[in-house]
């Protein structure tokens, strides 16, 4: 066993009571397909492959990222050199896109679930999807029907595990009664702590893990800004108007806090999540090998209890994580 493999086993985190063991940071690939502006496809492939070489085992994608582009990219990156056997591929499905990139609703009917899975398997170039999950709750389809369709795919050998994304406690319980759920994907960061109140306690009760996206609040915590009209952050409340101005002041304070501890702002944001939720798995949206290296360094720079208290006292962010219309449709935000 190599040193790297030994470290990976020592640090492994299990996804729920029935899921696989994974490295404590996952790689989110959405940003490699244009959601945050222009990308370099060759660098994206090299970044995924570098992550695998560094021990990362969980890759997160969605069939609607770049209208299939992201799955094709991930498929290219994991092909050959035994890489497929070293990773768990998590796929979200259900969002409907138009040829112009528009968003046209959501479909989680059982027939659609199986159709989406067939196309994902082909684009990824794999025989089985490790974790398959609806990206959102379809209000027109009982969650039992959607999860039942994924359970059929598990029985047929096309899917290994079932996950959820952005749903609330009632939906989690209903889904888990149909088939064991290994993890819920939910946004969580210094700027988005709502899951702590009800969702995380319910997951712990049920033996379900969580994969945490938006750990850098879509780059906000690292000082990143929207890069043109193709960058969808330009439409998010935290990046616009008075919220943007107030949040820039908070980010400046966080940058000074990080510098005082020899850390980058990104490392600080990741280290905070690792300290607050050590049993859960942050998913990091690194688009380049340099960003990947920066993120992985957070594993070796833990924060103390005093650091957490001081950091949280600074984190007075303004604005919701999505626009008002999207927030109304998020099952995870219903109270």
Q: Which residues contact 218 (CB under 8 A, 6 or more apart)?
A: 36, 224, 233, 236, 238, 239, 285
From 36, 65, 132, 322, the catalytic residue: 65
Alpha carbons 286 and 279: distance in angstroms, whole number? 21
In DSSP terms, 209 is beta-bridged to 183
Is 303 within 8 Å of 257 (Cβ atoms)? no
Which regions of 232-298 does DSSP assign to beta strands (E)?
281-284
* Residue 83 backbone dihedrals phi, psi, to 5 degrees: -70, -40
**18: burial class by Cβ within 10 Å (0-12, 13-18, 19+)?**
middle
Helix (H) or strand (E) holding 187: strand 181-187
Rg, the chain, Cα only: 19
**Strand bridging mode 103-106 / 95-97:** antiparallel
Q: Considering only CA atoms, which of 212, 150, 136 is closest in space to residue 180? A: 150
**Strand bridging mode 129-134 / 95-97:** unpaired
Alpha carbons 104 and 54: distance in angstroms, whole number? 38
N- to C-terminal Cα distance for the chain?
48
Does 65 qualify as catalytic in the annotation?
yes
Is 215 within 8 Å of 273 (Cβ atoms)? yes
3-state secondary structure 144-175: HHHHHHHHHHHHCCCEEEEEEECCCHHHHHHH
Residue 157: left (phi > 0), alpha (psi -120 to 50), or beta? Answer: left
As annotated, the active-site residues are 65
């Amino acid at each position: 066993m190599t040193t790297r493999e030994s470290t990976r086993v020592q640090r492994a985190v299990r996804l729920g009571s029935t899921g696989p063991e994974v490295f404590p940071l996952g790689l989110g690939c959405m940003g490699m397909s244009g959601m945050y502006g222009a990308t370099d496809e060759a660098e994206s492939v090299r970044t995924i492959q570098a992550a695998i070489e560094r021990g990362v085992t969980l890759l997160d994608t969605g069939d609607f990222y770049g209208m299939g582009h992201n799955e094709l990219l991930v498929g290219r990156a994991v092909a050959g050199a035994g890489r497929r056997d070293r990773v768990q591929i998590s796929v979200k499905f259900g969002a409907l896109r138009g040829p112009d990139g528009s968003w046209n609703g959501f479909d989680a009917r059982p027939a659609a679930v199986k159709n989406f899975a067939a196309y994902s398997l082909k684009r990824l170039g794999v025989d089985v999807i490790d974790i398959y999950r609806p990206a959102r709750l379809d209000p027109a389809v009982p969650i039992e029907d959607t999860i039942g369709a994924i359970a059929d795919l598990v029985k047929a050998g096309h899917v290994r595990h079932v996950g959820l994304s952005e749903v609330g406690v009632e939906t989690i319980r209903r889904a888990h009664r149909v088939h064991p759920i290994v993890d819920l994907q939910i946004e969580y960061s210094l700027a988005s702590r709502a899951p702590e109140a009800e969702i995380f306690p319910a997951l712990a009760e049920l033996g379900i893990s969580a994969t945490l996206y938006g750990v850098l609040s879509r780059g906000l915590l690292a000082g990143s800004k929207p890069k043109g009209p193709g960058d969808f952050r330009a439409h998010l409340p935290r990046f616009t108007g008075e919220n943007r101005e107030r949040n820039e002041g908070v980010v400046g304070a966080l940058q000074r806090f990080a510098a005082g501890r020899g850390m980058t702002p990104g490392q600080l944001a990741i280290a905070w999540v690792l300290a607050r939720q050590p049993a859960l798995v942050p998913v990091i949206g690194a688009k380049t090998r340099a960003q990947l290296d920066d993120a992985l360094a957070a594993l070796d720079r833990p924060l103390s209890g005093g650091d957490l208290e001081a950091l949280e006292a600074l984190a007075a962010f303004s604005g919701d994580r999505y626009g008002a219309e999207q927030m109304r449709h998020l099952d995870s935000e219903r109270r």
